[in-house]
Structure 1
Amino acid sequence: MSAPAVSVLVTAYNREKYIAASLESVLAQQFTDFEVIVTDNQSTDRTVEVARTFEHRDSRVRVVVNDRNLGQFGNRNHAATLARGTYLKYHDSDDLMYPHCLSVMVPLLEAEPRAGFALSPGASWPGGPAPMLSTPRQSYQREFLGYGMFNCGPACALFRREVFAELGGFDDAGVPSDFLFWLRACARTPVLLVPSDLFWYRVHPGQEFAGERAMREYALVPGATWAALHSAGCPLEGRELEQARINQAWSTVKLLRRDLRAGRFSLFAYRLRHAGLTMRDWIRYLRRPSRRMMAGTPVAANGEFLVPDWTRKA
């Protein structure tokens, strides 16, 4: 049996209410050369039972029940080891994938061999129509000198399977593991920025980013980010790097202020302790932040913004 082009990885835990609609959206894709691997993290409801009905109905669907609960991102990494496809597409068991999702992402990534993965935002990318190839430097410019690029979940991406393996998969850091992955991955490989609105992200009370534990896990992100901006692999240099550190220091201050205003004094102390900044850093970098909407936009030698070939007249 030949390997499929795409492995759609559906990680699940207690999603009996949503998983049927989620899998229906995958099977409704216009692009059909894919397998679906559902990895269940020891659900205690009918999630597996519902998923099995799709396994019996469509030979492309395979349901795997983990021997134990691996955690959210441990489950994602495990699913990747079961994949046979050239590309990996994560799809959460409570989200919906629009029918054109794979038919947009796969051909674009196939046509750009320099990119390690493709990334689709929740809203249009600033700086021009997608697709755009973003170098490590440009990705960090968007995140730290612009208005952000790394605030995306795994469902936003289409990975080359071998590149995902080379990058080591997701860290086991709880809910912010995806941000930490982008921080590391975008410093090492170019990224293809593709059009938005390819899937629908469902928001509901049962999600793992809510609660005290998630807040403490998120509180570790500024420290990890600060370390990345001081690592040898950081793609920014000179004045850009200096401004990125200033902007990050101010972002940390805003979070600390928010903790104090909300009366979260224990979280304030925890965040401050793990922020990574020394007293010398606070004195040096607590200066005026500066961000530009167009930061990180690829430009041509003549200064014009690069646009895709399909916009040019013959």
Structure 2
Amino acid sequence: YPWGIEAMVYCMEHFPDAGFGLMAQDYHKNLSFPFCLSPKEAYADFYFRGKLIGMGPTGAIIKREAFEAVKGFSGTQYIGDTEMWYRLAAKWPLVCMPAQLVWWREHGEQQIKGEIKNNTIKSSRYQLMIDALQHPECPLSKADTEMAMGNVKNLFARNILIGLMSGKIKGSLELMRLTKLSMPDILRSFKRNKYPAKTR
């Protein structure tokens, strides 16, 4: 929208130390926009809420200094934007901006459509989530990192289990092989995910 960039710049100017901003979803209703998350808070949001990390580049604004410091997007297809959010959020605060600043047109040629049926892409996203947690710059505590790691494994293990139960044997076993999840991982996914005592 014509006012979208102006609103994004307005939000970023409120937090000069921030490295980037993402449009936030409606689960932040109890907070007034814009607001800022520290690296630790941003990672907790990514792993224990899960919606903010899914924002695409259309709903993002990046400070040039931060963009150049991480050498820009890697160019990795399908997961390059998510990869960038992890890299930026590990180093700089993240500004949460109100939704509806842009118009997102849905169509059949979008990459997100291809990911739904492609196990190689799914496994790449899984590995990205694990790698971000194992990176030396991960801002989460050791306990929260282990908790998040277990939740990520549960998420993908449940998808495999649902596939097996719905008769999609070949595809489910392929995803299991690509993610290197074991049968004990699949069985552990019956347990509920764990969350920190306080998740903003």
For the aligned pair, the TM-score class normalised by the smaller chain equals: 0.7 to 0.9
* Residue 174 of structure 1, CA deviation: 1.5
- Out of 168, 177, 191, the residue aligned to residue 80 of structure 2 is 177
Question: SS state of the match for residue 211, structure 1?
Answer: helix
Structure 1 residue 149 corresponds to structure 2 residue 52: yes
Other-structure match for 1:223: 127
Aligned-residue offset at 1:275: 2.3
Structure 2: gaps (5+ residues):
none
1:267 aligns with 2:174: no
Establish whether residue 168 from structure 1 lines up as the match of residue 82 from structure 2. no
Contact 2:78 2:115 in 1 (8 A): no
The separation in 1 between residues aligned to 2:165 and 2:64, in whole angstroms, is 44
Say which SS state the counterpart of residue 210 (structure 1) adopts. helix
Alignment of 1:33-44 (within 5 A): none
1:187 maps onto 2:82 in alignment = no
Q: How many Å separate the matches in 2 of 1:111 and 1:217?
A: 37
- Aligned counterpart in structure 1 of residue 112 of structure 2, from 188, 201, 209: 209
What corresponds to 1:236 in structure 2?
140
Deviations 1:190-246 (A, max 9, x none): 111111110111111222322379623133211221122222111111332222122
Greater strand fraction, Structure 1 or Structure 2 = 1
- How far apart, in 1, do the equivalents of 2:89 and 2:7 lie? 21
Work out the CA distance in 2 between the residues paired with 1:188 and 1:273. Answer: 33
Q: In the alignment, which residue of structure 2 is the partner of 1:47?
A: none
Q: Quick one: percent identity of the two aligned structures?
A: 25
- Counterpart of 1:144, as a letter, is Y
Cα 1:127–1:243 shift into 2, 3 Å: farther
Shift of 1:265: 3.8
Structure 2 equivalent of residue 107 of structure 1: 10
Please tell me whether the aligned partners of residues 135 and 189 of structure 1 are also in contact (alpha carbons under 8 angstroms): yes
Instruction: String of CA shifts for 1:64-96, please: whole Å, max 9, x gaps.
Output: xxxxxxxxxxxxxxxxxxxxxxxxxxxxxxxxx
Mapping 1:39-50, distance limit 5 Å? none
What is the deviation of 1:276? 5.3
Give the TM-score taking structure 1 as reference length: 0.55
Q: Cα gap change, 1:130/1:182 in structure 2, threshold over 3 Å: closer, same or farther?
A: same
Contact 1:117 1:157 in 2 (8 A): yes
More helix by share: 2
Which structure is larger by alpha-carbon Rg, 1 or 2? 1
Q: Which amino acid aligns with 1:129?
A: S
**TM-score, normalising length from structure 2?**
0.83
- Stretch of structure 1 that moved more, 153-162 or 229-238: 229-238
SS in 1 for 2:16: coil
**SS where residue 194 of structure 2 aligns?**
coil
- 8 Å CA contact retained: 1:124, 1:195: no
> 2 CA distance for matches of 1:106 and 1:136?
20
Unaligned runs of 5+ in 1: 1-97, 298-314
Q: CA deviation at 1:154?
A: 0.5
Counterpart of 2:43 in structure 1: which amino acid?
Answer: Y
Q: Which moved more, 1:210-219 or 1:173-182?
A: 210-219
CA RMSD for the aligned pairs? 2.8
- Rounded to whole Å, the distance in 2 between the matches of 1:238 and 1:223 is 19
- The one of 99, 103, 106 aligned to 1:200: 103
Structure with higher RCO (Cα < 8 A, 6+ apart): 2
Structure-2 change in CA distance of 1:263 and 1:182 (3 Å): farther
Match of 1:248 in 2: 152
- Matched residues, number: 197
Deviation at 1:106, TM superposition (A): 0.7
For 1:238 and 1:247, the matched residues in 2 are separated by: 14
Residues 260 and 192 of structure 1: is their aligned pair in 2 closer, same or farther, counting only changes over 3 Å?
A: same
Q: Which amino acid aligns with 1:290?
A: K
* CA–CA distance in structure 2, aligned partners of residues 177 and 262 of structure 1: 31
Q: Which residue of 1 aligns with 2:42?
A: 139
Q: 154, 158, 170: which one pairs with 2:61? A: 158
